[in-house]
Amino acid sequence: MPVRELDSFSASHQKPLQLIANRGASGIDGHVSSLLGLASAAADCTTVAGLIGDLAFYHDMNGLLAARDCNATLIVINNDGGGIFRYLPQTGLETFERYWSTPTGLDFRHAAALYRLPFRRVSSADEFEQALNDKLAQPGVKIIEAVIDPQQSVERHRAYWEAVCKN
């Protein structure tokens, strides 16, 4: 969902941002590798940040090995599984968590530690902004895990659309 939310709700800005989306071969695969590949090819003055879901991150954690050679900030939106499936009618099923959402329950701090990468977990917009300001300028690859409530995020998404439709 992060790239969809960005597409739908981000405001306009004067800053010259270049947005690149990756669909992977089948969907959520290869996102970490694509980001770090981009970061390796980016000019020195370019700040590279990647926005990625927790399952997409999990799917390509091995890609973090490439972090040795580049500068980037990886933002993992952790809503504890495939939040996109909460928009399906199956969301009410007893088996939803097990077969659709598939939360990993992993502590991603350890993935960062495995590759010796700085890591910060945040759970509010203020904390996120501060972490992003701290990390963006630092050299190397840094990971920010933004923990969000999956159900609340669906409610907020629907409320935004309702507000947009009313205006």
Ligand X SMILES: Cc1ncc(C[n+]2csc(CCOP(=O)(O)OP(=O)(O)O)c2C)c(N)n1
CA distance 93 to 88: 10
Residue nearest to Mg ion (CB): 53
> What residue spans of the chain are helical by DSSP H?
2-9, 31-41, 54-59, 96, 109-114, 125-136, 150-166
Interaction residues for ligand X, span 6-35 (CB under 6 A): 26-29
State which residue, 71 or 101, has the beta carbon closest to Mg ion. 101
**Residue 63 binds which entry of Mg ion, ligand X, none, with Cβ cut-offs from 5 to 8 Å by kind?**
none
For tokens 């945040």, the residue is 122
Q: Choose, by CB under 6 A, the member of 1, 35, 66, 131 that binds ligand X.
A: 1
Q: Is 164 helix (H, G, I), strand (E, B) or coil?
A: helix
55 part of the interface to ligand X, by CB under 6 A: yes
Give CA–CA dist 59/90, Å, rounded. 23
- Nearest-approach distance from CB 24 to ligand X, in angstroms: 6
| Binding footprint of ligand X on the chain (CB under 6 A) | 1-2, 26-29, 53-56, 79, 82-84
| Binding footprint of Mg ion on the chain (CB under 5 A) | 53-54, 79, 83
